[in-house]
A = this chain, B = another copy of it.
Amino acid sequence: MTIRVIIVDDQAMVRAGFAALLSAQADIDVVGEAPDGALGIEVSRRTHPDVVLMDVRMPEMDGLAAARALLDPPVGVVHRPKVLMLTTFDVDDYVYEALRAGASGFLLKDAPPADLISAVRVVAAGEALLAPSVTRRLIADFAQQRPAPRRNRSLRLKGLTPRETEVLELIARGLSNQEIAGRLVLAEQTVKTHIGRVLAKLQLRDRAQAVIFAYESGLVAPGS
């Protein structure tokens, strides 16, 4: 199964170079090219590539907007290619935007040719790959922005027994006492007892505050 690739870049020579490089691989077919984002989308819709190589900077519609359009397609468009962003400069603002949009990778154009080829394969396989400098920034951002699931948690949450923690989590899921009892196969009164202990230990007043604590402590997280 060959990997179908299109190349979107405003410089014809760059397109030609990448095309030559990739076409030389037995498992890669370059099935289209385009000089800007708008045309790139068009070509993508027509050729249904597995991977779109997309330059960040382009006239008309830039790579970011094009990537967003491809990765969040309008209703009726079923095809959704992987997008591998390329850039000449090491511009970080664009990186985050592109990743948020759902791009599968971000490479610098000065990377070794072998890297580009393997990147195409990696991305086609559904994985992701970033330029090392980008990776470093992403990790730094990641590490800094959530310095371990809150310290608060281990402190106060530690006083709770396993059962109590379990009940607290179900409270934080919005279940009533009756529902919790059903889920855990308990009498409702037992649930109440557990909740009572939880509230006492954590010095909370009611289940609403318990929900807050669950979120603030990291026991449950938004979107989980």
Q: Which of B122, B128, B133, B148 contacts A100 (CB 8 A)?
A: B148
Once the chains bind, are A136 and B127 in contact (CB under 8 Å)? yes
- Nearest B residue to A212 via CB reads B174
CA distance A130 to B209 in the complex (A): 40
**What number of A residues sit within 8 Å (CB to CB) of B?**
50
- Nearest B residue to A130 via CB reads B135
CA distance A71 to B146 in the complex (A): 17
Is the C-beta of A205 less than 8 angstroms from some C-beta in chain B?
yes
Once the chains bind, are B223 and A144 in contact (CB under 8 Å)? yes
Given A142-B99, A174-B212, A216-B223, A126 and B130 contact (CB-CB distance below 8 Å): no
Given A127-B135, A130-B135, A132-B122, A216 and B212 contact (CB-CB distance below 8 Å): no
Give the shortest distance, in Å, between A52 (CB) and chain B (any CB): 16
Is the C-beta of A207 less than 8 angstroms from some C-beta in chain B?
yes
Interface string of A89-113 (1 = CB under 8 A from B): 0000000100111111100000000
Say how many copies of this protein the assembly contains. 2
CA distance A172 to B210 in the complex (A): 11
Once the chains bind, are B145 and A136 in contact (CB under 8 Å)? no
Is the C-beta of A176 less than 8 angstroms from some C-beta in chain B?
yes
CA distance A29 to B102 in the complex (A): 39
- Nearest B residue to A217 via CB reads B222
A residues 8-54 in Cβ contact with B at 8 Å: none
Once the chains bind, are B135 and A208 in contact (CB under 8 Å)? no
Interface string of A181-224 (1 = CB under 8 A from B): 00000000000000000000000111111111001101001110
Is the C-beta of A77 less than 8 angstroms from some C-beta in chain B?
no
Question: 12 other contacts beyond A99-B139, A102-B143, A211-B212, with CB at 8 A cut-off?
Answer: A100-B147, A100-B148, A104-B136, A127-B132, A130-B130, A138-B139, A142-B142, A171-B208, A174-B205, A211-B215, A216-B223, A218-B222
Instruction: List 24 A-B residue pairs with CB atoms under 8 Å apart, sorted by A's residue number.
Output: A99-B142, A100-B143, A100-B148, A102-B143, A103-B139, A126-B136, A127-B135, A127-B136, A128-B139, A141-B142, A145-B223, A150-B222, A171-B208, A172-B212, A173-B212, A174-B205, A174-B208, A174-B209, A176-B205, A176-B206, A211-B215, A215-B215, A218-B222, A222-B222
